[in-house]
Chain A
Amino acid sequence: MKTEKKANITTIPFLGDIILSGSRTLIGIALGLLTSGILIALSNANPLVAYGAMIKGAFGDIYAFCNVLVRVSPLLLGGMGVAIGNKAGIWNTGIEGYMYLGAIGSGLVAIQDWGLPSALHILLAVIAGMAFAAAWGLIPGYLRAHRGVNEVTCTIMLNYVAIYLTNWLVSDAGFFAESGAFFPMSKIFQDSAQLPILLRGTSLHPGVFVGIIVCLIFFFLLKYTPFGFRTRMLGGNPNAARYSGVDIKKQIILVMVLGAMLGGLGGAIEVIGLRHRVYSDFVTGVGYECIAVALLAGGNPVGVIFAGFFFAILKVGGATMSIETGVSSSMTSIIMALCVLFVIGVGLTDNHRVKKKSNKADAVAVVKQKEE
């Protein structure tokens, strides 16, 4: 009886989709947390206490929560960058690189004093960051569209190039690097190029709101515009897209470059909002976490918001958990990975079930039609 009812809810378009995919994700996350709990217990800590510490670490006070908000910003932007690629059937795994390029681009603008008003300086820095990342994304985009090069290999390789390019810039490039620094870093950004702090005593900058707005914009773009239709068609069946007159090469490049720009925006906001310098290795895997965010979200822009927050909570709370219970700090990554795996796994089994059900529903419908 209960399952009957659920089937009814899920047949409502949109709301049903959200309930179905949402519950699927929650089940996956629950299983992931459960399995991680076993691992935590194995490392001689009480899982409940550990998770309690994690929640306290993320929500314990306003500073802790601001920390979550700061951490979520690059995850939202980068996650959306990957997700838009997913929708088009492309694995844009170069977010790490785009973030470095975005940081370099905005850094080049931000370290100079142009005598501009702050808003304009920030805007210029952001635009420069996105432009640099876009140019970087053009490389795998072009290679994929016109030369058929696998975009995953290409973007991951380019990530390394981006990392070493950044390292060189912040250690040896005289015009950019801080001289005599204890750690490779760029010159400090001008005050006018730094994002405002929203809450005194924290490092909360507006990045998180930019991230949420961007996700909502892309939700709208994908669902309600011809651009979104084209993108989804490309992801659904590239042959059909070409047959329907879509310039699929152009669309592939466009989607890659858009993803790169979002990654670049994430990197730019990270440096002008939080770090105020470009450091070597400052992204440290966030770009790859963005891929997991998009996976967890199933490519859905609204899902990216939830998935991004989930990861940020794990990251911030995980540090507290590690301090309070002595569980290794790498446990956070393990929890993330397990949750993603379980969500994907549940999604797969669920798809089979839904397919079976809809086949059956179809058979019933056909029979009814015949009876009529």
Chain B
Amino acid sequence: MQEPKFALQMTDITKRFPGVLANDRISLDCKKGEVLGLLGENGAGKTTLMNVLYGMHQPDSGKILINEKEVEITSPSKAIELGIGMVHQHFKLVETLTVLENIVLGIPSNKVFLDLEPIRRRLLELCQEYELYVDPDAEVWKLPVGQQQWVEILKALYRNAQVLVLDEPTAVLTPSESDQLCRAIRRLTSEGRSIIFISHKLREVVEITDRVTIIRDGKLVGTIPTPEATQAKLAHMMVGRPVSIDRRPRQALQQKKPVLVMKDVNALDERGIQALKNFNLTVHAGEIVGVAGVDGNGQKELAECISGLKKPVSGTISVNDTLITDVVADPKFIGFIPEDRQKTGLVMDFSVAENLIIKEYDKEPYAEKRLLNLQNIKKHAQDMIKKYGIKTPTDTVKVSTLSGGNQQKVIIARELDSEPILDIACHPTRGLDMGAVSGVHDVLMKERERGAAVLFVSAELQEILALSDRIIVLFRGEIMGEVDGDTADAFTIGQLMLGQALEEKT
């Protein structure tokens, strides 16, 4: 008999939830030894489709074939038996157990006593083979997230998964860990295993996959071989309209009016370690200064110092010649999109309307004569919902029920609608899908045109390159280098991010 060509075929899968058609006749297939990218915006139906594959949901109609034989996957354990492995975006590990114990969990066994030794040996072999090194006896919660991901992958490999689904695997990885993952993926496919790679980072999809299947609003858009795909084309297919995170066209700055001026600022982080060192920075009106750098090199402290949340140990920070000495919560002065919207930017239990005024609740027109004016608050909320296209049933629902992109819109509406002199945008697109990212970029470009000084902090190089007039690169709390936005290239910035100073131009 001929060796089957396809490891997995899903045909016309339809899955309906009450009121939602999550998957509408979606088909995809994956050959042996192939990496198939699965692209789609948040809520497009990727996760539902994969849950159908993993036996967590039963499809309303459609067929699944493994090795070209039709199968019925009634439960995850059936899926595992059929050689399907899944690494969820949110890990399914028992954090208080060791790596080895997590691997053992769920392995069917009819022995009374567990003999861990052969399992340990096999695990170490797997680590070696795929260069995914973890300590089998380490407790999972002590491991960095990257290594937790390895544990998930090893768990699937231990069960001899032939089709491995990776759901947004790189979201939590550092660049070098991503490279490591890529090597492991190559290794796996060379053995004839198949990978389904879910992501919305287009660059990675283009780099790693052999073919890409794109879905949108629960429907199949199409499947194309990766060599024929460009990032722009994929983005277009995914969002349904042309989007780009290419460099935005702009007019050169006419005059330089300094807005944010930082002089010799030194600041400590939460652990008391120096986070900013003799930091000098000037941002002018009408320019976007991109702050690049690997996370944790002082970006957070930089934003906190400017907004007054953190007091520098020494040095001065002024905005429009006003010295920053205390928390600035005046969106007419500084608009601050914080790094973590749920932890800092929003009160999750408050309504959308309330969240839109958490900085101005005690100012007119929201408070008059020491009383809240609920009508004005409501009217403002409805204006903002319309103006910024916030998708919410009403202004009274809790902000926690909104999607990430809409939560971010609430923050943007609050911080930028009063036209601040200085905008601080920290990772404003983190966790958002393509359409939303492009929306945020539009907003920031408009802010620039309005004449605001914009400080744009991001870990995504592509975004920094797309938006910035000037780019500064942070490394261990210092500016490693500054490059012009028009002439910058990813390679130079990457070098600076790793701490290699630019060579003196002679």
Q: Using CB atoms and an 8 Å cutoff, list the residues of chain A in contact with chain B.
A: 13, 223-226, 228-230, 232-233, 236-237, 239-245, 358-367, 369-370
CB pair A370–B217 under 8 Å, yes or no, is yes
Q: Are B347 and A224 in contact (CB under 8 A)?
A: no
B21 to chain A: closest residue by CB: A367
- Cα distance A225–B43 in the bound complex, in angstroms: 39
Chain B residues, Cβ within 8 Å of A358: 397-398, 401
User: Taking the nearest CB of chain A, how far is it from the CB of B499, in angstroms?
Assistant: 31
From B217, B344, B372, B374, A240 is in contact (CB under 8 Å) with B344
6 closest Cβ pairs, A-B complex: A245-B329, A226-B362, A236-B347, A364-B19, A237-B347, A244-B358
Partner of A237, one of B217, B346, B392, B393: B346
Q: B361 near A224 (CB under 8 angstroms)?
A: no
A317 to B463 CA separation, bound complex (whole angstroms): 69
B43 and A366 contact, CB distance less than 8 A: yes
Q: How far is the CA of A225 from the CA of B371 in the complex (A)?
A: 5
Indicate if B336 sits at the interface (CB-CB under 8 A). Answer: yes
**Which of chain A's residues has its CB closest to B18's CB?**
A360
Apart from A232-B350, A241-B347, A362-B393, 17 more pairs, CB < 8 Å: A225-B371, A229-B354, A233-B350, A236-B350, A240-B344, A240-B345, A243-B309, A243-B327, A243-B345, A244-B329, A360-B17, A360-B18, A360-B19, A364-B18, A364-B19, A366-B391, A367-B19
Interface residue B387 (Cβ < 8 Å from any Cβ of A): no
Residue B370 lies at the interface, judged by CB distance under 8 Å to chain A: yes
Q: Which B residues between 336 and 368 are near A, CB-CB below 8 angstroms?
A: 336, 338, 343-350, 354, 358-359, 361-362, 367
Measured between C-beta atoms, what is the minimum distance from B137 to chain A in Å? Answer: 35
Q: Within the complex, which residue of A240, A245, A359, A365 is in contact with B393, where a contact is CB–CB below 8 Å?
A: A365
A240 and B391 within 8 A (CB):
no
The prevalent SS among residues of B at the interface is loop
Please tell me if the beta carbons of B349 and A224 are within 8 angstroms of each other in the complex.
no
Please determine whether B370 and A225 come into contact, CB atoms closer than 8 angstroms: yes
Are B19 and A363 in touch, CB under 8 angstroms?
yes
B346: which A residues are within 8 A, CB to CB?
Answer: 237, 240
Tell me whether B20 is interfacial, beta carbon within 8 Å: yes
**Which A residues are CB-close (under 8 A) to B309?**
242-243
CA distance A236 to B398 in the complex (A): 12
Contact A224 B372 (CB under 8 A): yes
Q: How far, in Å, is B396 (CB) from chain A's closest CB?
A: 5
B459 interfacial contact with A, CB 8 Å: no
Task: Known A362-B401, A364-B20; judge A243-B338 contact (CB<8 A).
Answer: yes
Taking a contact as CB atoms closer than 8 A, the residue among B20, B329, B371, B397 that contacts A224 in the complex is B371
Nearest Cβ on chain A to B319's Cβ, whole angstroms: 15
Contacts of A239 in B (CB 8 A): 343-344
CA distance A245 to B338 in the complex (A): 14
B359, A245: Cβ atoms closer than 8 Å: yes
Docked complex Cα distance between A225 and B377 (Å): 13
- Closest chain B CB from A90 CB (angstroms): 16
CB of A329 to closest CB in B, whole Å: 40
List B contacts of A367 (CB < 8 A): 19-21
Best-surrounded residue of A243, A361, A363 (most CB of chain B within 10 A) = A243
| Contact A363 B20, beta carbon cutoff 8 Å | yes
Q: Is the CB of B18 within 8 A of A245?
A: no
Closest to B363 in A: A226
B358 CB, nearest partner CB in chain A, Å: 4
CB of B182 within 8 Å of the partner chain? no
B328 at the interface (CB under 8 A from A): yes
Chain B minimum-CB-distance residue to A236: B347
Q: Is the CB of B20 within 8 A of A233?
A: no
List 26 contacting pairs A-B, 8 Å CB cutoff, sorted by A: A224-B371, A225-B367, A225-B372, A226-B367, A226-B370, A228-B372, A229-B362, A230-B362, A233-B358, A236-B347, A236-B349, A237-B344, A237-B347, A239-B343, A240-B346, A240-B347, A243-B338, A245-B328, A245-B329, A360-B17, A362-B393, A363-B17, A365-B391, A366-B43, A367-B20, A370-B217
Q: Could you say which residues of chain A place their CB within 8 Å of the CB of B371?
A: 224-225
B324-340 contact mask (Cβ, 8 Å, vs A): 1 or 0: 00011110000010100
Which of B98-148 touch A at CB < 8 Å?
A: none
Instruction: Report whether B329 and A237 are in contact in the complex, using a CB–CB cutoff of 8 Å.
Output: no
How distant is the Cα of A125 from the Cα of B102 in the complex, in angstroms? 65
Residues of B40-54 whose CB lies within 8 A of A: 43
User: Given A236-B349, A240-B344, A362-B401, A245 and B20 touching (CB < 8 A)?
Assistant: no
Residue numbers in A under 8 Å from B367 (CB-CB): 225-226
Q: Are B361 and A229 in contact (CB under 8 A)?
A: yes
- In the assembled complex, which residues on chain A have CB atoms less than 8 Å from the CB atom of B362? 226, 229-230
Contacts of B402 in A (CB 8 A): 362
Nearest chain A CB to B195 CB, angstrom units: 29
B327 near A245 (CB under 8 angstroms)? Answer: yes
Return the chain B residue nearest A369 by Cβ.
B391
Contact B345 A226 (CB under 8 A): no
In the complex, which of the residues B344, B350, B361, B392 contacts A226, with contact meaning CB atoms closer than 8 Å?
B361
Task: Find chain B residues with CB under 8 A from A365 CB.
Answer: 391-393
**B336 contacts A243, CB within 8 Å?**
yes
Contact partner, A233, options B19, B347, B396, Cβ 8 Å: B347
Neighbouring B residues of A359 by C-beta, 8 Å: 401
Residue of B nearest to A235 (CB): B349
What chain B residues lie within 8 Å of A223 (beta carbons)? 372
Bound complex: CA of A78 vs CA of B371, how far in Å? 26
- What residues on B are CB-neighbors of A245 within 8 Å? 327-330, 359
Nearest-neighbour CB distance to chain A for B187, whole angstroms, equals 39
Chain A residues with CB below 8 A from B345, complex form:
240, 243
For B358, list chain A residues within 8 Å (CB): 233, 240-241, 244
- Provide the bound-state CA to CA distance between A362 and B391, in Å: 10
Chain A residues with Cβ below 8 Å from B20 are: 363-364, 367
State the CA gap A364–B20 with chains docked (Å): 6
Residue among A237, A358, A362, A366 facing the most chain B CB atoms (10 A cut-off): A237
With the chains together, A364 CA to B327 CA distance in Å?
40
Q: Which residue of B lies closest to A364 (CB)?
A: B19
Residue of A nearest to B347 (CB): A236
Shortest Cβ distance from A245 into B: residue: B329
Q: How far is the CB of A241 from chain B (nearest CB, A)?
A: 8
